[in-house]
């Protein structure tokens, strides 16, 4: 077919052509799906949930004891059902099922008496849940259209429906169901983002990208979102269905290097009231900045770290703000890729919007509001109990250091004191170093730190507690203004992830003195990242970024993990993909022997990754722990430091530092990147010789370190090495006499 579009004559025309083709493709798919769904709804008789649940009724054609046959008749063979969650309360088994058909889905609960035959009860609940879901789909209860089907994500409001009358006070079962639904909605938001995003960095972080809040901006599930608080502070803003806000300004509620989409959510009744916000955030790949990766290590103000987007309404009542979108995309090196990330981000936030609207429809808007309040109050009560029982009245303090700021300054001290007064917990960062000239400053919001500390306490003492803003009430947090953790504008913030990693270490150190259950050694304490910028053999611009992981901290009864990530769900880029797409060869990658701190529980090993560049360019990286070492605990030894070494083709070796920009490399040059190990726990002489032998076989401990650090004499070559029990007994006795058993 011959296209009538004029030929592309410039790069801008090419980008616009690609973008329009992308939009048309998804728009056509969406229209086809909508048309098919409309035809199916018009051509099928709609059976109610009550009819589907009555197998002996004679009037309705879909009456059948087998719900699968009913669904086959209604939707054909292309439907699927997924069990999301089950629970038993008061002799009733409740099952939450998701039914997907015709490109649409519905979530519904089914109930059945919880007798001795659990399988029979579950099948009865399944029949009930799927009958309700089929009825909902047949009557047009549908999610908002995917953002990918619009010229940029057109923000349509959730479908208005008449809200059922509130049934009065919220019962415990309804609250449990709503909390379970929030968890599922957040999971779905992450799936939508992962499926629509183009960048690996976005897909890998999608599982933790979503937040749901109430109408006041209090976090119900997910990470706290200062973006919502920033929007609510601006009294002049009025929120309407179909609005979408975007921001990427850390000084205005956003996060450095992140895009955040915020969608206000309204009750399902016509002209409904604001009931909450759905938020989705994702890292911006290759954003506008002075260095590859958009985080220059030498930046001295936030102005040198790329474009900052204040809270801007990119869609107003469903209509796009084309001027704002053009300005944003025009500042991205790869505008089409940024366009795709924006689609996925808004689609994820809108999925959360529809999920909340569905809950309001199912339970009633007033009951939903009660649930928001009740879940916060429940977490608050539980957190006050933990504080009163677990934290000491006498202040306990801990401190650690950050090596440098990338501009030749450092080290920087981070100090935290923890104590309680009654049911109130105090976290005081007095004694932390003043803000840095370089970009290692971290704008640590009180709510964000409360979630970090509260989540650690919850995971340790009561994992059943929901993590939400209810935990804020008993917390009193003091962060000095003008410090490394609360810098004054316009301090640079691009490498704040390195400081955040140290915040975790210091928090673990302080809480470990309060409660042995929460104590760990230090982890590798960094967020290592390598970025390359150059041209391939055909002269085309090439960029790539790669994340690396290090050794995890040891704790009582558990070794540290080898090559772990500080961030849940994060993954490094597959070697095969990197080598295929970019002019680089990964010569080797693996754990570094002896890098984990020795201990009764061994610290996790760091990772060595060797890059050989097949094209000339510039490489930048950021890391930590090059000069300091991750400390051990209870007599455990410190983990090994990190290092980044450039090896030239003539054999010359350079070690520029842990935070470096624009190091020129030629084809054939190599970068050896070594991350730090984790600290050990307990006296190494208490580690069972069999476990040391196993680590030697796996290449995690050398035979020399086994003898000198653990007192274990291993003979023979791997993997057939063996422990010399008599020599080990003598060696340990000698080392025990010479060392003594200290504790940190």
Domain positions in the chain are: 49-138, 153-363, 393-518, 520-682, 685-744
Beta carbons within 8 Å of 578's beta carbon, 6+ residues apart: 544, 546, 584, 586
Rounded CA-CA distance 739/497 in Å is: 37
Q: Is the pTM of this model over 0.95?
A: no
Question: Model confidence at 99, in pLDDT bands (50, 70, 90)?
Answer: confident
Averaged over 518-532, what is the pLDDT?
A: 91
Rounded CA-CA distance 597/521 in Å is: 9
Beta carbons within 8 Å of 450's beta carbon, 6+ residues apart: 224, 471, 472, 475, 477
Strands 584-591 and 607-613: antiparallel
Rounded CA-CA distance 608/677 in Å is: 11
Whether 153 has a pLDDT exceeding 80, the answer reads: no
Rounded CA-CA distance 606/550 in Å is: 4
Rounded CA-CA distance 340/346 in Å is: 10
More confident residue, 474 or 55: 474
Averaged over 82-104, what is the pLDDT?
A: 75
Q: In which element (H, E) is residue 624 found?
A: none
Rounded CA-CA distance 688/710 in Å is: 9
Reported as a single tens digit per residue, the pLDDT across 175-201 is 989 999 999 999 999 888 888 877 766
Q: Tokens at residue 533, please?
A: 């910028």
Q: In which element (H, E) is residue 186 found?
A: helix 172-196
Q: Tokens 């077919």 map to which residue? A: 1
Question: Model confidence at 568, in pLDDT bands (50, 70, 90)?
Answer: low
CA dihedral 499, 505, 510, 516 (to 10 degrees): 160
| Cα 241–chain centre separation | 27
Q: In which element (H, E) is residue 447 found?
A: helix 446-461
Query: What mean pLDDT, rounded, does the chain reach?
Result: 83
The answer to whether 209 and 189 have CB atoms below 8 angstroms apart is: yes
Percent of the chain with pLDDT over 70: 82
More confident residue, 188 or 165: 188
Choosing among 3.30.160, 1.10.3470, 3.10.20, 3.40.50, the CATH entry for 49-138 is 3.30.160
């Amino acid at each position: 077919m011959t296209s009538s579009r004029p030929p592309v004559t410039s790069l801008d025309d090419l980008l616009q052509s690609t973008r329009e083709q992308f939009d048309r493709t998804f728009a056509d798919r969406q229209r086809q799906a909508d048309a098919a769904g409309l035809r199916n709804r018009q051509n099928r008789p709609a059976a109610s949930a009550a009819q589907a649940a009555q197998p002996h009724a004679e009037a309705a054609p879909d009456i059948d004891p087998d719900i699968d046959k009913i669904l086959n008749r209604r939707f054909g063979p292309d439907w699927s059902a997924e069990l999301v969650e089950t629970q038993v309360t008061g002799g009733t088994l409740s099952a939450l099922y998701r039914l997907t058909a015709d490109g649409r889905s519905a979530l519904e609960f089914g109930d059945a008496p919880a007798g001795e035959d659990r399988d029979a009860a579950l099948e009865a609940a399944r029949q009930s849940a799927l009958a309700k879901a089929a009825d909902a789909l047949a009557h047009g209860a549908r999610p908002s259209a995917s953002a990918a089907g619009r010229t940029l994500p057109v923000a349509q409001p959730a479908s208005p429906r008449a809200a059922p009358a509130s049934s009065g006070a919220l019962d415990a079962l309804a609250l449990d169901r709503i909390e379970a639904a929030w968890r599922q909605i957040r999971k779905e938001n992450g799936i939508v983002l992962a499926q629509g995003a183009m960048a690996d960095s976005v897909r890998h972080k999608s599982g933790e990208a979503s937040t749901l809040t109430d109408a006041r901006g209090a976090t119900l599930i997910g990470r706290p979102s200062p973006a919502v608080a920033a929007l609510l502070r601006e009294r002049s803003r009025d929120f309407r269905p179909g609005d979408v806000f975007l921001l990427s300004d850390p000084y205005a509620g956003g996060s450095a290097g992140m895009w955040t989409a915020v969608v206000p959510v309204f009750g399902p009744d016509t002209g409904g009231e604001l009931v909450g916000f759905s938020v989705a955030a994702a890292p911006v790949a290759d954003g506008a900045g002075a260095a590859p990766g958009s985080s220059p290590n030498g930046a001295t103000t936030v102005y040198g770290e790329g474009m900052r987007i204040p809270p801007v309404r990119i869609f107003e009542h469903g209509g796009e703000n084309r001027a704002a979108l053009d300005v944003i995309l025009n500042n991205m090196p790869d505008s089409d890729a940024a366009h795709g990330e924006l689609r996925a981000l808004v689609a994820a936030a809108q999925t959360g919007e529809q999920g909340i609207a569905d809950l309001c429809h199912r339970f009633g808007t007033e009951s939903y509001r009660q649930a928001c309040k009740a879940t916060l109050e429940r977490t608050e009560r539980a957190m006050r109990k933990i504080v009163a029982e677990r934290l000491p009245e006498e202040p306990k303090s801990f401190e650690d250091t950050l090596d440098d700021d990338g501009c030749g300054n450092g080290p920087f001290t981070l100090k935290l004191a923890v104590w309680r007064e009654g049911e109130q917990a105090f976290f005081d960062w007095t004694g932390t170093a003043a803000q840095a000239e370089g970009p290692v400053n971290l704008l640590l919001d009180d709510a964000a730190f409360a979630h970090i500390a509260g989540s650690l306490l919850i995971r340790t003492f009561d994992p059943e507690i929901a993590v939400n803003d209810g935990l804020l009430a008993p917390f009193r947090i003091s962060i000095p203004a003008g410090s490394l953790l609360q810098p004054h504008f316009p301090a640079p913030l691009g490498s704040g992830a390195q400081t955040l990693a140290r915040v975790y270490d210091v928090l673990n150190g302080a809480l470990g003195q309060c409660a042995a259950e929460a104590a760990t050694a230090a982890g590798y304490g960094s967020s290592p990242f390598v970025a390359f910028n150059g041209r391939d053999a055909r002269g085309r611009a090439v960029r790539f970024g790669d994340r690396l992981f290090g050794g995890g901290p040891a704790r009582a009864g558990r070794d540290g993990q080898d090559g772990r990530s500080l961030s849940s769900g994060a993954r490094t880029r597959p070697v095969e993909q990197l080598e295929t797409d970019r002019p680089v060869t990964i010569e080797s990658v693996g754990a570094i022997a002896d890098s984990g701190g020795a201990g009764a529980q061994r610290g996790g090993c760091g990772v060595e990754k060797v890059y050989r560049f097949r094209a000339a360019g510039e490489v930048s990286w950021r890391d930590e722990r090059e000069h300091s070492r991750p400390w051990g605990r209870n007599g455990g030894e410190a983990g090994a430091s990190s290092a980044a070494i450039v090896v030239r083709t003539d054999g010359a070796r350079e070690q520029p530092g842990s935070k470096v920009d624009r190091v020129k490399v030629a084809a054939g040059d190599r970068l050896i990147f070594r991350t730090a190990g984790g600290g050990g726990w307990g006296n190494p002489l208490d580690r069972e010789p069999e476990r040391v032998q196993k680590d030697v076989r796996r290449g995690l401990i050398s035979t020399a370190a086994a003898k000198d650090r653990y007192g274990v004499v291993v003979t023979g070559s791997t993997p057939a090495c063996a422990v010399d029990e008599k020599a080990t007994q003598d060696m340990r006795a000698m080392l025990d006499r010479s060392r003594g058993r200290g504790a940190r």
